[in-house]
Structure 1
Amino acid sequence: MRVWITLLLLVLGIEAFAQERAIDKEVVVAAPVAEVWQSWTTRAGIESFFAPQAEVDARVGGAFHIHFDPLGEPGLKGADDMRYMALQPMKMLSFDWSAPPSLPEARQQRTFVVVRLHDIDGKSTRVTLHHAGWGDGGEWDKAYAYFDRAWGAVLSNLKKRHESAPIDWTDWLDQLKKHHASPAK
């Protein structure tokens, strides 16, 4: 009987682990894998679709700092101090990630993102994004909901960047300048 109980608990534990909360997104980009890879692994690439400013050093442990608010104080620019965790050229990259500054408790922690590139026909690339490592409750739930929306927008921008042109961040930066110039309320 104890063996059956142990096996049942093991199966239930594996099933719970398999059902870990994660965000999964996918997009098909009208560009060869090498071009999409450059979008994720160079400063110019990141700034063409992801954010107006970045510091990128595409090597394990290298910088993957994505500044959505380049006018912000250090630590409040966006994904400050993130790092590449793994790179398999033209196939996969991963990086750690933090919650937005508006969620300081969750921001003290890190989650991780895995991006995979799949060649479709030499001219198009399927990009899959898997974001995991979530805690439960409170700010974790808010961060999860935020990124469930945000990653869709990021991948949409990646698609647009390769279909038409790099994202023009002028209006975004103008709004940030106004925000930073206005007195605190």
Structure 2
Amino acid sequence: MTDLTITRTLAFPVDRVWRAMTDPVALAAWFWPQRFNPTAEVDLRVGGRYRIDGPAAGMAVSGEYVTVEPPHTLVFTWVWDGEPGETLVTVELTPTAGGTDLTLRHARFPDDQQRDQHAQGWYDCLDRLPEWLTRSAG
């Protein structure tokens, strides 16, 4: 098994970043490119489920929340539609003087290739987050 860890420093308060990671309207707005026509469903509680669908791209991911500790820790399983295998994502948000440190750990990949494919996806996804946080101010 192999893991992936990505860290980002965001110039926004923890509560705003938490909302971006957990609110279905927010997730649909930034998680995947808008050309995917994304939608999101969130039942934010331990044992609750989520689903992020990109019908225009023919892809969706879903899973179950394992840990929900607002606004600092979110742990959830990750399963692509139509593919076997479940991985585990941990998001930790730490307040800083200038905003929030986000640490994302995606674990339990069966091999380096799958880890590296997900790394590219997470980098792309997290690159959209600061723009959404800026637009959603207020």
The interval holding the TM-score normalised by the smaller chain is 0.7 to 0.9
RMSD: 2.0
Mapping 1:1-185, distance limit 5 Å: 21-51=2-32, 52-69=38-55, 71=56, 77-79=59-61, 81-99=62-80, 107-121=83-97, 124-136=99-111, 141-163=112-134, 165=135
Which structure would you say has the larger RCO, counting Cα contacts within 8 Å and 6 or more residues apart? 2
TM-score normalised to structure 1 length: 0.64
Q: Distance in 2 between matches of 1:68 and 1:33?
A: 27
Could you list the per-position Cα deviations for residues 109-154 of structure 1 after superposition, in whole angstroms to 9, with x for gaps in the alignment? 1000000001012x51111100001213xxxx44222101111111
On the 8 A contact 1:42/1:57 being kept in 2, the answer is: no
Matched length:
131
**More helix as a share of residues:** 1
TM-score normalised to structure 2 length: 0.84
- Give % identity: 27
Q: Distance in 1 between matches of 2:114 and 2:39?
A: 22
The structure 1 segments of at least 4 consecutive aligned residues displaced by more than 3 Å after TM superposition are none
Q: Which blocks of at least 5 consecutive residues in structure 2 are unaligned?
A: 33-37
On the 8 A contact 1:27/1:159 being kept in 2, the answer is: no
Q: Which has the larger radius of gyration?
A: 1
Q: Which blocks of at least 5 consecutive residues in structure 1 are unaligned?
A: 1-19, 167-185
